[in-house]
Chains A and B, each alone.
Chain A
């Protein structure tokens, strides 16, 4: 996967969905870091390793680790595959191609002291540091014990002192940093009887390894493990068999670990910068909508009121007119009645007069 896409996606990630304009998640994308100049490393030529476990013993001694359950001269521990744990910074494993394999391969395993360590990238108190000398050191005095470093390490190296209640530590190979500062060799390298371990400047070790491959092309696979894995490691390996066969993952890729989360980390300040704008914007819009709705409502009410009022007026007028008409009608009626009465009375009077007249 290309870095730029990963970054872009990470960016998109924190943004949740939208608001994308190119180039914002640029951080360091066009910078290249070459690591500390002249930093040291170790070349482990697995073709020379005889599986004597001297390095394990030496490591145990120089780091004052607890005595092992089985003595270091006991090679039956090689029967099963081991990993580093809280009492062993390094382990040697044996790999057979088949049960009857007469030439098993031995591989020493310890922290590879990555150039861009995953463990350092994920530690939220920055307990791990890549030193200029090459070692990735661990500072016990700040470690909280979240064990994210163990989750992140692609080589499955850091171990934890689960049995300690109050002072549990993460443990891993120190590349004998204190000894190296004193000008000594790492314990394991010093004790190795066959020169399967070679300590020196990483750049020079790579050159030496290339030379060995060139001189004995039939002996080595053409790959220096650690030259580019996870952005490169201070420990380097040579092998006669594919690395997958000797228990080392070949699918790790060459991306330095901090790159995995660089994009999403760049997105954090962007979210912090734009979310307030977006959210107050939405808030303002919804408030405005409310207000408009409210205004519309009150307007509608007002209209309804005036309408009602005017309607009432019309009614009133009509009523008045009606009343007037009625009144007039009533008056007319009365008048008619009166007239009729008068007429009747007249008639009656006339009749009477007539009768009187006839009587006379």
Chain B
């Protein structure tokens, strides 16, 4: 490694600047509002801050925070599997940021669940009180709990390098393979199971979205979400934290974007294909001409087929900018898919005026939680060796 790079990675003391940057002000406001709503939520019950009702027991805290959140946090398992299991070493510098994003993502999901469930202090009950083994949610809960632990351990070397805990760090690094494999198993299970949860509601979820393939759809689309999030997050990091990146990151960055875009395009193609197969299997073609059908086509063409094509063009023409924007489009598409299944196409048989529309405080809490994540991410990447290799451990990769 050249001298320059080593210079780059010197522990950086935050430059003395005003606390009142636009980022800090906006984040601060969101956090304060979120804090106030949090108090309301836990003193007044769900009714005090949400529009949830008996027909819509799940709102955006499940549709967005849980379903979309878990899918978007799939970058960790996708990247570590690509690098450590499939041996794509050229993407190595993407692993740590992806693991960090994944870890924060799952941590936030768990925080969000504390707002949503009626008695959050009972969240460990499925394991310690009584096991509802026939529930898909039991499996999801077990996998998410275990995977959060796995991600924490996978992330810990960065923190240990920062804190100078060399011995502990080396022990954990030896476990990399094991943790990666566990991560992939757990992710396969719970990503698909989030979709399988809706297998229970064939009479409530619109036939265009309901399919016995739902678990496959959720698993495959989580891979797409994971790949896209890595691209998206790395382009943002590059914009705001370029000074934190070492040569390896800067050099590998483009290759990662092109490689991941290519992979995402391919997976999107497959995803589109199996979605079409799903319609054929249940003979749901006639629904395509209804208004739900139009909406379904918007999702399929605008947020699956289009990004697939754009990614392909971006990868062919080595157009970094196009890839960046496509990753945002794709991420949005996955979020839309989860909201469709959980809210929009759910209870399709109910009259329009009984539909659920989130309360602004629900949205505020979701924003609050995302902001928590961004702040935590910023705190960590400005301190720990995430976007660069720690000078003491550089040669180990």
Contacts and interface: CB of A to CB of B under 8 A. Distances in A.
Answer yes or no: A and B touching, Cβ < 8 Å. yes
Interface of A: 1, 5-6, 9-10, 12-14, 16-17, 83-86, 118, 120-127, 142-148, 150-152, 154, 156, 158-169, 249, 251-253, 257-258, 260-261, 263-265, 268, 271-272, 275-276, 279-280, 282-283, 286-287, 289-290
Name the residue in B84, B116, B122, B137 with the highest tally of chain A Cβ atoms < 10 Å from its Cβ: B137
Given A10-B196, A160-B52, A268-B189, 4 more contacts: A16-B220, A154-B204, A257-B200, A258-B134
Contacts of A156: 54-55
Contacts of B47: 162-163
B141 A124 contact: yes
Interface stretch (B38-46, B158-166, B323-331): B38-46
Name the residue in A126, A151, A158, A251 with the highest tally of chain B Cβ atoms < 10 Å from its Cβ: A151
A16 B203 contact: no
A279 B184 contact: yes
Name the residue in B43, B202, B214 with the highest tally of chain A Cβ atoms < 10 Å from its Cβ: B202
Interface string B72-110: 000000000100111100000000000000000000000
Interface string B212-245: 1111100110000000000000000000000000
A295 to B, nearest CB: 15
Nearest to A283: B85
Contacts of B375: none
A310 B251 CA distance: 39
Nearest to B89: A290
Given A125-B130, A286-B86, A168 B193 contact: no
A12 B220 CA distance: 12
Contact of B216 (A16, A150, A159, A257): A16
Chain B binding surface SS class: helix
B212 A282 contact: no
A85 B54 CA distance: 7
B185 A162 contact: no
A280 B181 contact: yes
Interface string B310-349: 0000000000000000000000000000000000000001
A265 B193 CA distance: 9
17 contacts: A13-B214, A14-B193, A16-B220, A122-B135, A123-B135, A125-B122, A125-B129, A144-B123, A144-B126, A150-B54, A151-B197, A151-B204, A154-B201, A160-B52, A161-B45, A168-B45, A286-B85
Given A151-B200, A154-B203, A5 B126 contact: no
A92 B239 CA distance: 61
Interface string B109-134: 00000001111001101100111111
Interface of B: 42-48, 50, 52-55, 57-58, 81, 84-87, 116-119, 122-123, 125-126, 129-139, 141, 177, 181, 184-185, 188-189, 192-193, 195-197, 199-204, 212-216, 219-220, 282, 349
A14 to B, nearest CB: 5
Given A144-B118, A162-B50, A265-B136, A150 B213 contact: no
Contact of A1 (B116, B122, B282): B282
Contact of A265 (B50, B55, B139): B139
Contacts of B193: 14, 264, 268
A17 B44 CA distance: 46
Given A145-B122, A154-B204, A249-B203, A13 B54 contact: no
Given A123-B132, A144-B119, A264-B192, A151 B199 contact: no
A163 B49 CA distance: 10
Nearest to A150: B57
A16 B85 contact: no
A1 B81 CA distance: 36
A253 to B, nearest CB: 7
A161 B119 CA distance: 11
Contacts of B134: 120-122, 126, 258, 261, 265
Nearest to B42: A165
Contact of A151 (B58, B139, B212, B216): B58
A168 B57 CA distance: 13
A124 B118 contact: no
A122 B136 contact: yes
B276 to A, nearest CB: 15
B199 A282 contact: no
A163 B125 CA distance: 22
Nearest to B53: A162
Contact of A83 (B55, B188, B196, B213): B55
A228 to B, nearest CB: 15
A331 B34 CA distance: 101
Given A121-B134, A165-B45, A14 B215 contact: yes
B71 to A, nearest CB: 15
A279 B85 contact: yes
A319 B193 CA distance: 76
Nearest to A164: B45
Contacts of B200: 118, 121-122, 148, 151-152, 257, 260-261
A161 B54 CA distance: 9
Task: Please provide the 6 A-B residue pairs with the shortest distance between their CB atoms, ordered closest to farther.
Answer: A145-B118, A286-B87, A13-B215, A147-B57, A150-B57, A124-B138
Contacts of A86: 54
A17 B270 CA distance: 11
A145 B132 contact: no
Name the residue in A161, A162, A164, A286 with the highest tally of chain B Cβ atoms < 10 Å from its Cβ: A162
